Amino acid sequence: MNRLLFERMPKVELHVHLEGAIPPDTLRLLAGKYGRRLDEDPGWPVLRDRTFRDFRDFVSAWMLISGCLREAEDYTLIAEAAAREFIRSNTRYAEVLYSPTLDAVKPIGVQRITEAVAAGFAGQRGRLEVRLVADAVRDNDPAETLALAEALAEMRHPLVAGMGLGGSEAGHPPAPFAPAFERARRAGLRTEAHAGETAGPESIRQALDSLHVDRVSHGIRAEEDPSLLDRLGRERIPLAMCPTSNWRLRAVPGLEAHPAVAFLRRGLAVHLATDDPAIFGCDLAGEFTRMDEAFRLEEGEVRALLLNAVDAAWCPDRDKARLRAEIAAFFAEEGAASRGA
Ligand SMILES: [Zn+2]
């Protein structure tokens, strides 16, 4: 398959941060609104050149972006911009992480931020379906995450499907967040955690055993522990694999060293995702293209990556059936076209 087919293919994205999906023109607009000069910010060279030495450089780029978000209406603006990008790349369904507890916006409150994000995506119905996942910051006190879970439970916003755990994984293990995740689950929310990206297999095990997450984001360092790989396969734990993100942040030495396809071929429930497309300069079609170039994906493997995402999605069964039908129709048409050629 080639890049054009990957672009036309109906896609499902389950791991993309709204704050990491702000196109450059929208970011400039927001920076101008608050009188910030992007080129004077310490995070700007990293964001402009995409030269990350490690996760700390990512944090400086992230701080620059989050410093441009101050009012609820900013979230509507960035959701509208992200929606346009999803539609452009033929992403048909997206679960979008957003971080309502960032310091600058915390006073706005979880409910107003959530409503503002939802308003930004509301105009796209029919072309793009979206669910939201509120992402907690593991660098902060676990009590903050518990408060987030309480707020989500109280709010019961129809678009919010789950809660995640993000931030700096190394040095911030999952276990202390167990009460917050328990609260979220009791409220009927689904859960996920970044694990096995910048910390090792133990971080993944804790996310599964202490937080009881439904999905793991990244999980690449499971490759250090064959018994964990066996478990992930046996339990069909969905893994969001983000090759460009891992490569840019030097979690893997090169795309050809990324374990996504090896995991898939071992029977793990892998799907591809972009993580922070505007920060890393990627899109979902590009993630498929890069894995195909490095590993020569068979058509059945491309389909499996798509269908694994549908299976792992937190939307109603009727929406999943529609997505599966769209994917099947695409491959049937492609098959007919290539036989006719
Ligand atoms: Zn992420």
End-to-end Cα separation, the chain, in angstroms: 15
Question: What is residue 2's predicted lDDT score, i.e. its pLDDT?
Answer: 84
- Choose the most confident range, by mean pLDDT, from 115-129, 267-281, 327-341: 267-281
- Ligand 1 centroid to 276 CA: how many Å? 7
Which residues 6+ apart lie within 8 Å of 163 measured at CB? 133, 134, 135, 136, 148, 149, 152, 180, 181, 184, 189, 190, 191, 192
3-state secondary structure the chain: CCHHHHHHCCEEEEEEEHHHCCCHHHHHHHHHHCCCCHHHCCCHHHHHHCCCCCHHHHHHHHHHHHCCCCCHHHHHHHHHHHHHHHHHCCEEEEEEEECCCCCCCHHHCHHHHHHHHHHHHHCCCCCCEEEEEEEEECCCCHHHHHHHHHHHHHHCCCCEEEEEEECCCCCCCCHHHHHHHHHHHHCCCEEEEEECCCCCHHHHHHHHHCCCCCEEEECHHHHHCHHHHHHHHHCCCCEEECHHHHHHCCCCCCHHHCCHHHHHHCCCCEEECCECHHHHCCCHHHHHHHHHHHHCCCHHHHHHHHHHHHHHCCCCHHHHHHHHHHHHHHHHHHHHHHHHC
Contact 132, 163 (CB under 8 A): no
Residues 34-59: what's their mean pLDDT? 88
CATH assignment, 3-340: 3.20.20.140
Confidence of residue 4 (pLDDT cuts 50, 70, 90): confident
Q: Is the pLDDT of residue 105 over 90?
A: no
Q: What's the mean pLDDT in 248-271?
A: 97
C-alpha–C-alpha distance, residues 333 and 331, integer Å: 5
Apex 150 CA angle, 149 and 153, nearest 5: 85
Boundaries of every domain in the chain: 3-340
| pLDDT confidence band for 339 (50 / 70 / 90) | confident
- The rounded Å distance from CA 166 to ligand 1 centre is 7
Residues above pLDDT 70, as percent of the chain: 100
* Sign for the pseudo-dihedral over CA of 136, 277, 247, 11: positive
Residue 95 has pLDDT above 80, yes or no: yes
- Residues listed for the chain: 341
Establish whether 197 is a catalytic residue: yes
Which pLDDT belongs to residue 338? 77
Protein residues with C-beta less than 5 angstroms from the ion ligand 1: 275
Residue 192: predicted pLDDT: 98
Mean local confidence (pLDDT), 38-65: 89
Q: In this structure, what token pair is assigned to residue 25?
A: 């023109």
Compute, in angstroms, the gap from residue 335 CA to the centroid of ligand 1. 34
pLDDT surpasses 90 at 51: no
pLDDT of residue 124: 79
What is d(CA 267, CA 331) in angstroms, rounded to the nearest whole number? 22
| Residue of 13, 19, 197, 223 marked catalytic | 197
pLDDT for residue 125: 75
In this prediction the pTM is: 0.96
Taking CA atoms, 146 is separated from 77, 129, 184, 287, in Å, by 28, 28, 8, 34
Question: What average pLDDT does the segment 18-38 reach?
Answer: 95
* Residue 337: per-residue pLDDT: 81
- From ligand 1's centre to the CA of 148, what distance in Å? 18
Kindly give the distance from the C-alpha atom of residue 273 to the centroid of ligand 1, in angstroms, as a whole number.
Answer: 9
pLDDT tens by residue, 178-233: 999 999 999 999 999 999 999 999 999 999 999 999 999 999 999 999 999 999 99
Give me the mean pLDDT over the 39-55 stretch. 88
pLDDT band at 311 (very low <50, low <70, confident <90, very high): very high
Residue 341's pLDDT band, with cuts at 50, 70 and 90, is: low
Which of 45-49, 73-77, 114-118, 224-228 has the least mean pLDDT? Answer: 45-49
pLDDT number for residue 250: 93
**339 C-alpha vs ligand 1 centroid, how far in Å?**
40
